[in-house]
Amino acid sequence: MNQRTKVLGMGAVAALLVAVGLLRFTDTGQVSPQPGSAPPSTSAVVPATSGVAPVIPSTVAGAPVPPPAPVAPSDAELESLAAALRERYGAKLDEPSVQIRLIEELMRFFQQRSPDRWREELLAFVKAYFPERYDALEAMLRNRVDYEKWVRDNDSYLRGLSGPERRAATWDARNRLFGKETAERIWASELKNQALADTLRSLEAREDLSLEKKLSTLKQRIQEVHGAQADAYMARHQQEVMNHFLDLSSVQTELGAMTAQERSRSLRTVRREMGLDEEALKRWDTLDQSRDARWDSGAKYMAERQTLAKELSGEALEERLAEVRARYFGAEASTIAQEEASGFYRFERPRQWGRN
């Protein structure tokens, strides 16, 4: 028996472990159900399952019969897994957010291999292949499982809270279980995203600020939150940030009050400040013009439609509308007819400047 197999065997005990569905940290720092696990209850607290040690039968001579050894992954498979994990995480294992990703990858692996003994075998693997990190990773696993249990047990309570109250309760649990500094490092992305969301919310309420000033304030806040990584963040989330800004109702109101030329210049400024190059700006200019023409045709069509609806009905109305739709929309006329048959009138939607 080689040393690793021996280490894995040492974990065998005759006890049922707590069985709960695992959650996974997403990129925004939230937790979500792991594939194959039951989703948290929306109506009641989900109690933790407690295990009871089974009675081990005895031989005639009175010696206990050992429980059967679990079927463990082969040494070659464990070696391959350890090598891959070292390459992916090894240089950054001082960072709590990296430790949690390593732990969660191991949780998925060992839960699939040994659902009843995954925790023992996971820790045995860590002890064999990451001995210098054993204490930190064991603590991270323990806190990770405890946090998941807290989320499940408090699901109904959390759903009944307002957004700010839910965030406060969640952070209180994270700080208590992981420690404040470690929790903030694990959920750093969530904190940054929340800071920008709060900034957008505050800008929405500032009727005294112009579009240009709101844009400048948002860019400054991105720089404060992301520091040296601000440019890299914008490169990855350029469209997302731009859409969030243009979706502000105060920004839409200001754009709607402009002339077509003023609006075109303002949209170009927003996109340029978000980092778009000249070629991209030209493509957006073309798209804006196409959208403007489309909405202009839509407004004219709806006006004719209303006039015809006052004069005609039934098949006579539909025949005339088919002619009008074909005149304004060409090949897309049949699609618009199907939408209207289902009760959807696309040109009754509000115009979102720079968005539709």
Query: Do 90 and 123 fall within a single domain?
Result: yes
Average confidence (pLDDT) over 49-67: 41
Helices (H) and strands (E) in the chain, counts: 16, 2
Q: What's the domain range around 209?
A: 189-276
More confident residue, 143 or 65: 143
Number of domains making up the chain: 3
pLDDT in tens, 198-210: 999 999 999 899 9
pLDDT at 62 over 70: no
pLDDT in tens, 67-115: 444 445 568 999 999 999 999 999 999 999 999 999 999 999 999 999 9
Query: Do 199 and 258 fall within a single domain?
Result: yes
Taking a C-beta distance cutoff of 8 angstroms, is the pair 127, 12 a contact? Answer: no
Residue 24's H or E segment, with its range, is: strand 23-25
Does residue 219 form part of some domain? Answer: yes
Place of tokens 């005639």: 60
Grade residue 49 by pLDDT with cuts at 50, 70 and 90.
very low
Query: Do 29 and 171 fall within a single domain?
Result: yes
pLDDT in tens, 279-329: 999 999 999 999 999 999 999 999 999 999 999 999 999 999 999 999 999
Instruction: Select from 278, 209, 285, 287 the least CA-distant residue to 250.
Output: 209
pLDDT of residue 207: 86
How is residue 246 written in tokens? Answer: 């243009």
Does residue 287 form part of some domain? Answer: no
Say how far apart CA 180 and CA 186 lie, in whole Å.
10
Query: Do 205 and 236 fall within a single domain?
Result: yes
pLDDT at 24 over 60: no
Query: Do 131 and 236 fall within a single domain?
Result: no
Query: Do 19 and 142 fall within a single domain?
Result: yes
Say how far apart CA 256 and CA 124 lie, in whole Å.
63
pLDDT in tens, 296-309: 999 999 999 999 99
Query: Do 137 and 21 fall within a single domain?
Result: yes
Query: Do 102 and 251 fall within a single domain?
Result: no
Does residue 272 form part of some domain? Answer: yes
Query: Do 219 and 336 fall within a single domain?
Result: no
pLDDT of residue 54: 36
pLDDT of residue 75: 84
